[in-house]
Chains A and B, each alone.
Chain A
């Protein structure tokens, strides 16, 4: 029987054994459910705190505040003529949550003004800040009205500066400003997500390969298996099988997580719409402000160079997985049953992964800087750094060169790992040093 058939058998076994495990099924299904649940709970809490209006009674002897200016959907202010002393006794029974007393503003030049409040409940930091902001605004309005400046002049004094990339706008012609702040934010977020995904994939599935190698060695089944297939075939089958497990899990998550989040946001949306219009109002506010424009976000996302990003990401994803999981397999074969000793051998694998991940912020601070270019070319870093660089439209020749180097390294690394693996799996009861591993590379058959 040919090696390919045997490889296929091994891949099939490695895949099925893992996919059928209860722990795998639970992790695959519970992770999206957990994320959905967290989204639901936080959404629910946000909406419930929003719908829980607070009634505030205001004692404002000098009459400097206007209750209409203060009131919003969450806090309803009512001015009262009663004395503070009476209200202190009765505000709760009259149905108010909070009593606020604003003393007279004696000097218009004062930059601080202390206001007292009385409440049976403890106020959250957020509520305190919101009330403070409202009162500040009211007092500012009062100060303006008492001065010579009219509100209109004051408004005209404010100005925002926006930097716009004139070069790329001119180049591309079609889009107004493709390197706007928004596109940089979106690219950075995407960059971070892709870098992080690679980081997780390498560690989670790489160590899965390692454990699987160790298990076969400790079980001693390995000698039976390699009397039927070449050790390299066994190692490769394992790497591919576990890789497919990873792809299965990621695909399920990629489908389930957005689906669940959509369901959650839809039910939440209905929920809040029933009680109040606040959520819609907030979204509307956000959309109106320049900071966060939903249509602009979608627009920017669709303008990313997906034709480059998606295929390249797949290449770097597979390349990174193969390089690191075969290294993990080599280490697993050398460890045997002493995990403590394995930690030391794992260091040379863990360090480059962490280094590469640390480079990611440097990449989106300076996508064409020396760190980004080096990191996205060196094959141990490029599987993490290049995907992080992809949203920033790196030069095509650099991407292709990096891919070529990566593919070459994958072949070299799996070959090297295979040499270590075939010696390691038959080696028992011996503490292995790096020097020893180096020697294994040159052992004959």
Chain B
């Protein structure tokens, strides 16, 4: 069951195609990563989902319905470029933004007070936004994004500009919201942030989808059968080399590639007999960053070839 489905979505600006026939599904109740380098088309895609712009062609289905102007109240969107009215007071501003999302004033007031209490910042209620630090403003922005209990939460680079403490705070809140059933799209170009948080991802580059799926399945698919052995002692150099390839070899760590789908137990058996004391034996999975570089690099080189 998906909260959001994109089918063959295209968005063209007059001189380039920002979104080029992209399709993917965001599963309900999960944290979903929208990945891609800067300028890949993430923001263009998000603006289509949030009804800020319209796709030139293709379908966007939110919770079973084609996207329309009733949907903004079910979506919470925190843009990468944060912004609040500087001269407005925190409380007044949050109530205004919540009302624009369709919340009645009273309910907005009650919920916002809860949120501010939760973050221990209730005494900011009557402060003007310009009096707050950047990190404080980010918290306010986050509250403004989630106060109306959106079904779908879209966070564009939510951790940029946050210190580690606030990053953790927001991370915990994201987890909490997710546990309560909110589906979350997490858009970023920093792929390492996503691996720990997201179950599913879509990876786009230059407006096109490059990769989609479950993070562990993707890693499984793109793994190089590498194993890391941490050890103590002296390694006898006569490992049977037919099925294994030593990638790196230092005083206390070995990285070995297993060839021909050989069973990793076989390698371990040989190592056990080789006279070293094994501290750890683990599979090395590629990071999303590495996978991305691998795919995009391949695509680039194939492009280059076709251009010849």
**Using a CB–CB distance below 8 Å, which chain A residues touch chain B?**
1, 3, 6, 9-10, 13, 17, 216, 219-230, 426, 439, 443-445
Contacts and interface: CB of A to CB of B under 8 A. Distances in A.
Contacts of A444: 54, 56
Contacts of A3: 69
A445 B11 CA distance: 10
B88 A426 contact: no
B84 A227 contact: no
Nearest to B85: A221
23 contacts: A1-B73, A3-B69, A9-B96, A17-B85, A216-B83, A220-B81, A220-B83, A221-B83, A221-B85, A223-B52, A224-B77, A224-B78, A224-B84, A227-B50, A227-B51, A227-B79, A228-B72, A228-B97, A229-B100, A426-B53, A444-B54, A444-B56, A445-B54
B298 to A, nearest CB: 32
B240 interface: no
A227 B56 contact: no
B36 to A, nearest CB: 19
A333 to B, nearest CB: 14
Contact of A9 (B69, B75, B100): B100
Interface of B: 14, 47, 50-56, 69, 72-73, 75, 77-79, 81-88, 96-97, 99-102, 141, 144
A443 B53 CA distance: 10
Contacts of B72: 227-229
Of listed B50, B55, B84, B100, residue having the most chain A CB within 10 A: B100
A433 to B, nearest CB: 13
A222 B83 contact: yes
Contacts of B56: 444
Contacts of B82: 220
Contacts of B14: 439, 443
For the complex of A and B, list the 10 residue pairs with the smallest distance between their C-beta atoms, beginning with the closest.
Answer: A445-B54, A220-B83, A221-B83, A1-B102, A228-B100, A220-B81, A227-B50, A223-B79, A227-B77, A219-B83
Nearest to B57: A444
Contacts of A6: 100
A223 B83 contact: yes
Contacts of A228: 72-73, 97, 100-101
Nearest to B98: A228
B188 to A, nearest CB: 17
B86 to A, nearest CB: 6
B96 A224 contact: no
A6 B79 CA distance: 21
Nearest to B105: A9
Given A426-B47, A444-B54, A445-B53, A223 B81 contact: yes
Contacts of A223: 52, 79, 81, 83
Contacts of B52: 223, 226-227, 426
Given A221-B85, A224-B97, 15 more contacts: A10-B100, A216-B83, A220-B79, A222-B83, A223-B81, A224-B78, A224-B79, A224-B141, A226-B52, A227-B51, A227-B72, A228-B73, A229-B72, A426-B53, A445-B55
A10 B99 CA distance: 10
Given A227-B75, A426-B52, A17 B83 contact: no
Of listed A1, A223, A229, A439, residue having the most chain B CB within 10 A: A223
A224 B80 CA distance: 10
Nearest to A428: B81
Contacts of A220: 79, 81-83
Contacts of A426: 47, 52-53
A10 B96 CA distance: 9
Contacts of A224: 77-79, 83-84, 97, 141, 144
Contacts of A443: 14
Nearest to A225: B100
Given A9-B96, A445-B53, A17 B88 contact: yes
A292 to B, nearest CB: 50
A226 B72 CA distance: 9
A10 B85 CA distance: 13
A220 B43 CA distance: 14
A216 B84 CA distance: 8
B100 A219 contact: no
Contacts of B73: 1, 228
A219 B84 contact: yes
A75 to B, nearest CB: 60
A230 B144 contact: no
Nearest to A13: B96
A243 B175 CA distance: 45
B84 A221 contact: yes
A219 B97 contact: no
B96 A219 contact: no
Contacts of B86: 219
A1 B73 CA distance: 8
Nearest to B154: A227
A3 to B, nearest CB: 8
Contacts of B54: 444-445
Contacts of B141: 224
A132 B94 CA distance: 74
Contacts of A225: 97, 100
B106 to A, nearest CB: 15
Contact of B99 (A9, A17, A219, A222): A9
Contacts of A216: 83, 85
Nearest to A9: B99
Of listed A13, A221, A225, A230, residue having the most chain B CB within 10 A: A221
B182 to A, nearest CB: 16
A9 B96 CA distance: 8
Nearest to B99: A9
Nearest to B86: A219
